[in-house]
A and B are shown apart, each in its own frame.
Chain A
Amino acid sequence: MAKLLVVDDEANIRLLYSQELSDEGYQVVTAGSALEAVEKLESESFDLAVIDIKLKNESGIELLQRIVKERHTIPVILCTAFSCYKDDFSAWLADGYVVKSSDLQELKDEIARVLAKRQRGAYV
């Protein structure tokens, strides 16, 4: 069972993600801030992280950069209400990019795609 880390500053959205992704058969751990996410990344191992770009006063892209810099070899999917970040060069570090929507299908597809890629050995 793949283990996902979901980072979003809104409790309701964390709840929605947990619910829906658990239904898909993933093990879901959530974090409400970048700090919490880093702590969890250091203590547990994950197969994939879903990160909101806008985290209260922090930036999801900075968190992404930190993950890449600290050599956590996990794929990251960025998730946001803004579509314009798609062309922020730092966002290109992410393995996937999903615009927030009440229809979580796109996110689910993206997770499946990235995990499949990982399984093929891209992140070992």
Chain B
Amino acid sequence: MDWECCWSREQIEPENCPYIGEGEEDLLVFQRRRIVEKCVECPRFKNDLARMKGSGYPLSDVLPYILTEFQEQKTQMGAMLSFLNSKTREIKFLREVGLVLQTSLDLDEVLSIAMTAITAGKGFGMNRAFLLMTDKDRRHIRGYLGVGPKDYEEAWRTWEDISRSNFTLRQLARDFQKTKLTSEKVKFHDILNQLTVPLSDQGHIFNRALTGKKPILVENALNNPDLDRGLARILGVDTFLVMPLISRNRRIGVIIADNCITHKPITLQDMQSLETFAFPVAFALERASLYERLQEEVAKQKAANVKLREQQELIVKMEKMALVGKITSSIAHSIRNPLMVIGGFARTLLKGTPDGDDKRGYLESIVRETRQLEDVLSEVLDYSESLFPVTDFWDLNELVGKAMGELEGTLEQAGVHCRLELAPELPMVRIDYKQISYCLKTITTQALAAMDPGGELRIESVLDGDGVLLRISDDGKPLTQTAQEALIAPFFQTQELGEGVGLSLCKSILERQGNSLTIFSRPGGGNTYSIRLLTRKENI
């Protein structure tokens, strides 16, 4: 029989079969493959089969069954192959993602790879994804990052860019982290802000997904009675996927993914793939945020250690100073008693010695020298006490009142009137009460020295920013610049103990406590001594 189709021929020419395309030329010489791949579909072959039936071939009745079965099997094989291919691709992709997620400790890197994986065509190919994370105090789930185009135009541009480049997923993620992470956060700021949900709201879809530990596919969101309609309006889509992120039993957050641009349906397979992917993402996110917190703790610990070391050094220094102070005060004390006896008896003797007696001169020398030694001792003791301020919060006005009360006699003697102008309701100042009283008294005594009887001494306290200012003003002769400098020159620099260290001791006491002393002389007359005292404790 003369067949219409070329199936019976071992070798054919290109013009014999119109179905053999470019690149398939080898089929011209392979008869078996040609029959399986081309002839079974060929209408001419079907015609041949019909003719065969008419001519009474015994197999012609059976052949169509076999052929149909063969075709069905072939279709099924094809479907399975494509399924296998897509699964292979998915596994490869998951492996790539997994590798990054397992090794990365950087929260931003984890976020970038996860979000890129969900939205990139090479990944799950969703149009858009939002990541919501549980906050630090575990009360709310908050919008953290959104990724995807905002409109069709942007989507088109992005996809075109991506299809032109040949980046791997990791490269895409890296590129995203470098160039887009911050801008994406800003881009979806309004949506992210509206996505905050309390973890206690059990009925909310996010919490339902977290409690059930299963993704939820929301369809027909605008008319779903189980759903907060606001959510659909915020997202602007009718269909979206809510994927819980759970690491062990810890709720890490939620991913919302949708196809807001293409409106492609979200398939069961999309859901399953995303679910497999959600595990490592949740784990990596948890690890990265734990690592971030660990880093914060380490930094805090380091700072604490530095502070501790400083404190230890200070303690050692203070212990040394305390020892010096102890020795000084013990020596001073043991000298004072005999000195008092010597000087005291010399004075007694002096009283009983007539004016013309030669011995008077000797006795006067003893009295004079003793007094000088006693002055030195007082200053040594004042100094060794000044090394150890005991600071606490005190009411400055009360201190001024008490100190001036003690000086009442001195003021009276000098014939000076003292006017107090104390601001009410001042904050407490952190000072060593004893030492500041000493400073106030010393400064007052210094001021009195410059004043004439009938003068007025003014003491004011005023609030000054984060401190309190105490001003002592006299109306006596203005101090010259040199006198001022000499008065408050750093202790030990210009003066030896025993040469009137009063004011410079005040200055060093004040400065050691974080305060300051300044002197201002008015050319027209009068001097103002300003002490600035701190009210905050961290400056001590």
Interface set of A (CB-CB < 8 Å, partner B): 10, 12-13, 16, 19-20, 23, 54, 81-84, 86-87, 99-104
Cβ contact of B382, chosen from A13, A23, A83, A100, cutoff 8 A: A83
Cβ contact of B348, chosen from A20, A82, A86, A87, cutoff 8 A: A20
B382 nearest CB across to chain A (Å): 7
Whether B341 and A16, one on each chain, are in contact in the complex, defined by CB atoms closer than 8 angstroms, is yes
Whether A10 and B337, one on each chain, are in contact in the complex, defined by CB atoms closer than 8 angstroms, is yes
Known: A16-B344, A83-B382. A100 touches B434 (CB 8 A): no
Cβ contact of A102, chosen from B329, B332, B333, B342, cutoff 8 A: B342
Known: A82-B381, A83-B382, A100-B336. A12 touches B341 (CB 8 A): yes
Whether A87 and B434, one on each chain, are in contact in the complex, defined by CB atoms closer than 8 angstroms, is yes
Interface of B (DSSP majority class): helix
> Per-residue CB proximity of B467-486 to A under 8 Å, as 1/0?
00000000000000000000
Whether A16 and B340, one on each chain, are in contact in the complex, defined by CB atoms closer than 8 angstroms, is yes
Shortest Cβ distance from A13 into B: residue: B341
Whether, in the assembled complex, B145 has its beta carbon less than 8 Å from a beta carbon of chain A, the answer is: no
Known: A81-B333, A81-B337, A83-B381. A103 touches B371 (CB 8 A): yes
How far apart sit A23 and B338, CA to CA, in the bound complex (Å)?
21
Show 25 residue pairs from A and B whose CB-CB distance is below 8 angstroms, ordered by the A residue: A12-B338, A13-B340, A16-B340, A16-B345, A16-B348, A19-B345, A19-B348, A81-B332, A82-B329, A82-B381, A84-B434, A87-B433, A87-B434, A100-B337, A101-B340, A101-B343, A101-B374, A102-B339, A102-B340, A102-B341, A102-B344, A102-B370, A102-B371, A102-B374, A103-B347
Whether, in the assembled complex, B385 has its beta carbon less than 8 Å from a beta carbon of chain A, the answer is: yes
Whether, in the assembled complex, B346 has its beta carbon less than 8 Å from a beta carbon of chain A, the answer is: yes
B530 nearest CB across to chain A (Å): 25
Whether, in the assembled complex, B378 has its beta carbon less than 8 Å from a beta carbon of chain A, the answer is: yes
Shortest Cβ distance from A109 into B: residue: B409
Whether B371 and A82, one on each chain, are in contact in the complex, defined by CB atoms closer than 8 angstroms, is no
How far apart sit A19 and B351, CA to CA, in the bound complex (Å)?
12
Whether A83 and B337, one on each chain, are in contact in the complex, defined by CB atoms closer than 8 angstroms, is no
A7 nearest CB across to chain B (Å): 14
Whether B344 and A104, one on each chain, are in contact in the complex, defined by CB atoms closer than 8 angstroms, is yes
- Contacts A12-B341, A103-B347 supplied; 6 other A-B pairs, CB < 8 Å: A13-B344, A81-B333, A82-B381, A100-B337, A102-B339, A104-B347
Known: A16-B345, A20-B348. A102 touches B367 (CB 8 A): yes
Known: A13-B337, A81-B336. A102 touches B343 (CB 8 A): yes
A71 nearest CB across to chain B (Å): 28
Shortest Cβ distance from A82 into B: residue: B333
Q: Could you say which of B346, B347, B370 has the most chain A C-beta atoms within 10 Å of its C-beta? A: B347
Residues of A within 8 A of B434 (CB): 84, 86-87
A111 nearest CB across to chain B (Å): 15
